[in-house]
Structure 1
Amino acid sequence: MSLKSGKLRIWLENGESKKQWCTTQLSLEDYVNSTNAIPNATALDYVTLLEGAQDDPDHIPITFQRHKGEVFQLEVSVKLQVLKQLRVATYCIEMEPISLERIDVLESKMRDLQD
């Protein structure tokens, strides 16, 4: 996950198959709406929130499912404390497959062996 000039970019890789998916450069409006907006939050605040979702011991499972055609949807839900009430905000992000050459897959497997 990276943030550059206020634009979010997410890249995922399946550890076994080495298939990869990524987003376009997303502006805040691409993943924040009236149901999950946090008042006065910046793009960096949302990146921190999304990255921390998987580290939270009480986190809601993150899902990654086929959405339409070859496009997948990453769904991250986070628990927020707002005015002494627990609230769940869900962020849905579309991700497209990255086409890989066989050499790219081999390089990825070599990196895994080095780790």
Structure 2
Amino acid sequence: MSYNRPSFRYKKPEAQNGDLRTPLTFYTSQVEEGVDGRDVSYKKAFYTMGQVYSPSMKDIEIASGKSMRAKMTLKIRDPLADYQPENQHFVEVEDIRLTNKKWQIIDIRPDFDNRDFLIVIIGGGQDV
């Protein structure tokens, strides 16, 4: 006698190329040489498509622990050896609803549900 038991196996959430539809440009920054010494120049480091969404409570807590304010969470494919985002880098989200502003990277972590992706929290200081 066989029973039809329900399956309770975990199914990881699937992300498809259609979900990654926002252009993202990552920049490195350095202080420009000159008299003033306060000018910053940005150099393009990496370009990709990603998913942009509101930060979760976990992301907000991570940012507040670093005295930052989380504005958005990005999900990008893991570029492996091509590029690794760092906290000193900046991101420009190319969306018509946002101004052309470069956001600071607050935190980077692998997506534990799907190892093919990285989660990047971006934002700015408390006054932003």
Task: Sort the TM-score into its range (normalised by shorter chain).
Answer: under 0.3
Using the size of structure 2 for normalisation, the TM-score is: 0.25
Using the size of structure 1 for normalisation, the TM-score is: 0.27
Structure (1 or 2) with the larger CA radius of gyration? 2
The structure carrying a bigger helix percent of its residues is 1
